[in-house]
Structure 1
Amino acid sequence: MDPHLLTTFVTVARHGSFSAAAAELGYTQSAISQQIAALEADLGLALLRRRPVEPTPAGRRLLEHAGPLLLRLRAARADVLRTAAEPSHLLRVAATPLAVNPVVAARLAAARAAQPRLEVRLRTCRAERLAALVAEGRAELGLAGGIAAPSDPLRLPESGPMSTAGVSEEDLVVVLEPGHPLAGRARLRLADLIDARWLDTPLCPLTRLRDLVGDGFPVGLEYEGDDVHTVLTLAAAGHGLTLLPASAVPAGGGPVCAVPVAAPRLVHRVELLHAALPPGPATALAAALAG
């Protein structure tokens, strides 16, 4: 399959529109239609229904493969270009929310003190985007954070050859409103909270919690953002419980009550990921962050 045709197909399917895909890719609508027809002729299958524009069953199956395939192609290009690139003192670091914890911040400060010329450009993004940014060469280093069992690696999207290293593991706390009946406990078992209402957020996705603990954990409120202050405010107002690393809650709890988790033993784990790095500032920073 021609990757250019595959890119066009993915773009049309994402927009649900030939004209919108043409505008994004810089083609005429007629050219987009011809490219889709060429891909369908190559496979001998209809991939898109035209009114409305949506994938057929075969098209949906192709979309499952298309994203990883195109990412691997972009990653291969970036990996080859890296071999000829000159070492740079300007490094781009992508991090998921909560990945830059006190341990990471301190190691970053030490690395900058050891390399006075080092410039760091830090951006945050969702976990599903992080590996792609690193693989495509739009960030030299990535810091991914998530809930895991101790020493268990995070589940990161497949994005080609990538080195990973554990950076830190931090205890989790259950965040409750101050007036909650369980707010005074010394520790809490998550199994005792499966029927409580929970906030479903990118910082603590309930699908991940159910994977680790079991069914239950009904949604009290779904929040699609990743601002910690907003999550704490929602929890303080009684919209639901959530799990956060202990360092994300203000000293003394602030507007909420934070109770350590007794069982199961879970942590907020941070991992460093990067593709092949040439000797120089990027390699030195990776070593400093990994500790």
Structure 2
Amino acid sequence: MDPHLLTTFVTVARRGSFSAAAAELGYTQSAISQQIAALEADLGLALLSRRPVEPTPAGRRLLEHAGPLLLRLRAARADVLRAAAGPRHRLRLAATPLAVNAAVAGRLARARAAQPRLDVTLVSCGREQVGALVAEGEADLGLADGIAAPSDPLRLPDTGPMTTVAVSEEELVVALPAGHPVAGRTALRLDDLVDARWLQTEVCPLARLRDLAGDGFPVALEYRGDDVHTVINLVAAGHGLTLLPASALSTGSVPPATRGVPLAWPRLVHRVELLHGALPPGSAADLARTLSS
């Protein structure tokens, strides 16, 4: 399949309109229609219904493959250009909100002290985006965090050949209101909390907890942002429980109505990993070594 035709198909499906896709891609509407027709002729299947414009069952199946395929193509292009590029002192670091903990921030400070000319732009984004930004060359390095068993790698989306290195691991705590019935305990088991009301967040996806401890963990409130202080304030106000790294509740800005009780079982940690593609000698490689040291 022609990747240009595939890109057009994905754009039409996402926008739900041939004219909107044409405006986004810089083609005429007639050209968009011809490209979709060419892709459908290649496969011998209708991929889009026209009124309304939406994927057919075959089109929905193709969309499942299209995203990863197009990402791998962009990643291949970025990897070749990155390998051929000379050393640069202006770097972009993509990171999930909780990835830049005290340990990582300290290592970043050491790297900047050792390289006075180093200019780092830190971009906050979701876990799904970190690998994609690095793979596509939009970021030189990435930092992703998540819940894992000790020494186990994170479950990150496949974005092609990528080096991942453990940066830090720390204790997880159950964040809950100070008045919660179990707030005074010295430790908690996850299987004792399957019927509690939980926050659904990027920081602590409940699907991951269900993988670890079985069904349950009802959603009390879903928060689609990535601000950790907002999550903590929601916990303090009684909107639901969540898991956080212990350091997230150790700052002076945490509301006094919030408690963090260590998680006794299962044995889990908050893990941070560094992601990068091929790095020629220079500032990016030096920063990667310092962050993962």
Name the TM-score, length of structure 2 as normaliser: 0.97
CA distance in 1, matches of 2:266, 2:152: 14
> Does the residue aligned with 1:31 lie in a helix, a strand or coil?
helix
The equivalent residue for 2:290 is: 288
CA distance in 1, matches of 2:30, 2:249: 55
> Does the residue aligned with 1:93 lie in a helix, a strand or coil?
strand
CA distance in 2, matches of 1:114, 1:231: 35
Map 1:79-228 onto structure 2 (within 5 A).
79-228=79-228
CA distance in 2, matches of 1:153, 1:194: 25
Q: C-alpha deviations, 1:1-24, integer Å up to 9, x for none?
A: 110000000001111111111111
Q: C-alpha deviations, 1:113-139, integer Å up to 9, x for none?
A: 111111111001111111110001110
1:254 to 2:258 alignment:
no
CA distance in 2, matches of 1:183, 1:84: 55
- The verdict on how the C-alpha distance between 1:251 and 1:167 changes in structure 2, with shifts beyond 3 A counting, is same
The residue type paired with residue 274 of structure 2 is L
176-185 vs 207-216, greater mean Cα deviation: 207-216
The residue type paired with residue 69 of structure 1 is L
Residue 233 of structure 2 contacts residue 255 of structure 2 at CA under 8 Å; is this kept in 1? Answer: no
Shift in Å, 1:254? 3.0
The residue type paired with residue 268 of structure 1 is H
The residue type paired with residue 150 of structure 1 is P
Q: C-alpha deviations, 1:78-105, integer Å up to 9, x for none?
A: 1111122111011110001200011100
> Does the residue aligned with 1:261 lie in a helix, a strand or coil?
strand
The equivalent residue for 2:35 is: 35
The residue type paired with residue 187 of structure 2 is R
Residue 174 of structure 2 contacts residue 242 of structure 2 at CA under 8 Å; is this kept in 1? Answer: yes
Count, aligned residues: 291
The equivalent residue for 1:274 is: 276
Shift in Å, 1:160? 1.2
CA distance in 1, matches of 2:213, 2:276: 30
> Does the residue aligned with 1:5 lie in a helix, a strand or coil?
helix
The residue type paired with residue 289 of structure 1 is L
> Does the residue aligned with 1:81 lie in a helix, a strand or coil?
helix
The equivalent residue for 1:265 is: 267
Map 1:13-28 onto structure 2 (within 5 A).
13-28=13-28
Map 1:3-82 onto structure 2 (within 5 A).
3-82=3-82
CA distance in 2, matches of 1:160, 1:247: 32
Q: C-alpha deviations, 1:137-186, integer Å up to 9, x for none?
A: 11010001001111110111111111110000011110111111111111
Q: C-alpha deviations, 1:189-218, integer Å up to 9, x for none?
A: 111000000000111110111112211100
Shift in Å, 1:63? 0.6
> Does the residue aligned with 2:99 lie in a helix, a strand or coil?
coil
Shift in Å, 1:219? 0.4
CA distance in 1, matches of 2:32, 2:96: 35
> Does the residue aligned with 1:121 lie in a helix, a strand or coil?
strand
Residue 196 of structure 2 contacts residue 217 of structure 2 at CA under 8 Å; is this kept in 1? Answer: yes
Name the TM-score, length of structure 1 as normaliser: 0.98
- For structure 2, the residue ranges without an aligned partner over 5 or more in a row are none
CA distance in 2, matches of 1:223, 1:174: 17
The residue type paired with residue 174 of structure 2 is V
CA distance in 2, matches of 1:77, 1:41: 28
Q: For the aligned residues, what is the CA RMSD?
A: 1.0
The residue type paired with residue 227 of structure 1 is D
The residue type paired with residue 89 of structure 2 is H
CA distance in 2, matches of 1:32, 1:135: 28
CA distance in 2, matches of 1:89, 1:131: 21
Shift in Å, 1:250? 3.5
CA distance in 2, matches of 1:170, 1:12: 44
> Does the residue aligned with 1:225 lie in a helix, a strand or coil?
coil
